[in-house]
Amino acid sequence: MRVVINAQLDPAFSGGIAQALSGLVHGLGSLSGSDEYLLVCTPKSAEWLSPYTGRNQAIHINRGRKLAPASGVRISDGFWESFSPDLLHFPYQAYTRTNVPTVFNPHDLQHVHLPECFSEAERERREVLYGDACRLATAVVTASTWVKNDVVRHFGIPAENVHVIPWGIPTAIHREADDRESGDVLQRLGLSCGFAIYPAQTWPHKNHLRLFDALHLVYERWGTRIPLVCSGAQTTHQDALHRRIRDLGLDQQVHFVGYVDPNDLRALYRSALFMIVPTLHEALSFPVYEAFAEHLSVACSNVTSLPEQVGDAALLFDPHDTHAIADAMNRLYRDEGLRTDLSARGARRLVGLSWEATAKRYRDLYYTLVTRHGNSSVLQQQIMATR
């Protein structure tokens, strides 16, 4: 089977979507068998993805050709078919209509739930592109049942066309930090152990402003100053965050460290006391999985896909309620027994979760779609592979 994957992402602006793609590439590259995976990349994404590729994968660098307009779905002019694919995978929000079976990942419908975070033009662009792609794709894949139900309900897609395949843990494909390396990272960033951590780009829906209000409230109610480390790429919303920090007198308490590479991030997790995730919308939280993998306790929002993801392994709160956020932070900061219990529950939530498991489920779906499309040679390969 020959699968062509649209991998023309810029990781600097794609956040969790880029993490999902690199993990999927890593997972597919670890599988045995005669399947072939061709990654269609830009020069920048080729450089970024090449360390994650395996022996069954090749990279084609697309130099300067725009394959999918920002305004919506494009009808193929033969470019994708020129690679002789059995299946095309569009793993992020770009899509081209072809005569080949396709898989599409819409990731989430945030524009529907938080329209205030987008311009009218961007909301319309997403609505048209996502809707058309979901209807045209042979199969749609989401990472949670919550997002599947959202897609089915909003776009009227048959439920049997939407498949749930959870992602793996992004930091799992990177080396674990030891005590010395963790100490070096803390020293370089000017930090000390025992902080709360929130890894998130500073978009408004990540809810940093209420988190800062909650930090201030913890001090007012309990006299405790909880140090907070915020990692992740900074956005145009950053000035508003710094103003709130100054107004609340949190300058010595909140530390922005910007984007940190995965190895440094693992060192930060190792040195943190707990993770706080007050986001207003999440299709699936990679930081939560990463925290579970590092035996770090978590407090997070009780909205969208998060309750499904964490089960009983996190302290849940209403992200619109500053008092609820403050109470959750204070409980985790003070109660070592609660942190220990939650970290153990979190580790159990990861049983069976890996990029190899994710890749195998995608491969199974690829085979199903290709054989349904009538490629008898691929069906024969699948039969032989199971003997």
Which pLDDT band, with edges at 50, 70 and 90, does 263 fall under?
confident
Residue 232 predicted with pLDDT over 60: yes
Average pLDDT of the residues in 268-294: 96
In this structure, what token pair is assigned to residue 193? 């152990």
Q: What is the pLDDT of residues 128-168, one digit of tens each?
A: 999 999 999 999 999 999 999 999 999 999 999 999 999 99
The amino acid present at 373, given as its one-letter code, is H
Residue type at position 12: A
HEC assignment per residue over the chain: CEEEEECCCCHHHHCHHHHHHHHHHHHHHCCCCCCEEEEEECHHHHHHHHHHCCCCEEEEECCCCCCCCCCCCEECCCCCHHHCCCEEEECCCCCEECCCCEEECCCCCHHHHCHHHCCHHHHHHHHHHHHHHHHHCCEEEECCHHHHHHHHHHHCCCHHHEEECCCCCHHHHCCCCCHHHHHHHHHHHCCCCCEEEEECCCCHHHCHHHHHHHHHHHHHHHCCCCCEEEECCCCCCHHHHHHHHHHHCCCCCEEEEECCCHHHHHHHHHHEEEEEECCCCCCCCHHHHHHHHCCCCEEEECCCCHHHHHCCCCEEECCCCHHHHHHHHHHHHHCHHHHHHHHHHHHHHCCCCCHHHHHHHHHHHHHHHHHHCCCHHHHHHHHHHCC
Q: Which amino acid is residue 47, in one-letter code?
A: E
Distance CA 386, CA 67 (A): 36
Instruction: Please give the pLDDT value at position 261.
Output: 86
Sign (positive/negative) of CA torsion 143, 146, 151, 152?
positive
Q: What is the pLDDT of residue 384?
A: 40
User: What structural domains and CATH numbers belong to the chain?
Assistant: 2-168+354-385 (3.40.50.2000), 171-349 (3.40.50.2000)
Give the pLDDT of residue 66.
59
Single pTM value for the model: 0.90
Closest alpha carbon to 206 in 276, 279, 281, 288:
279
> What average pLDDT is seen over the chain?
92
Per-residue pLDDT, averaged over 67-93, amounts to 85
Amino acid (1-letter code) at residue 237: H
In this prediction, residue 70 carries a pLDDT of 53
Quick: pLDDT tens for 5-20. 999 987 766 778 989 9
CA atoms of 203 and 234, how far apart (whole Å): 8
Model confidence at 72: pLDDT above 80:
no
354, two tokens: 């890996």
The mean per-residue pLDDT over the stretch 367-373 comes to: 94
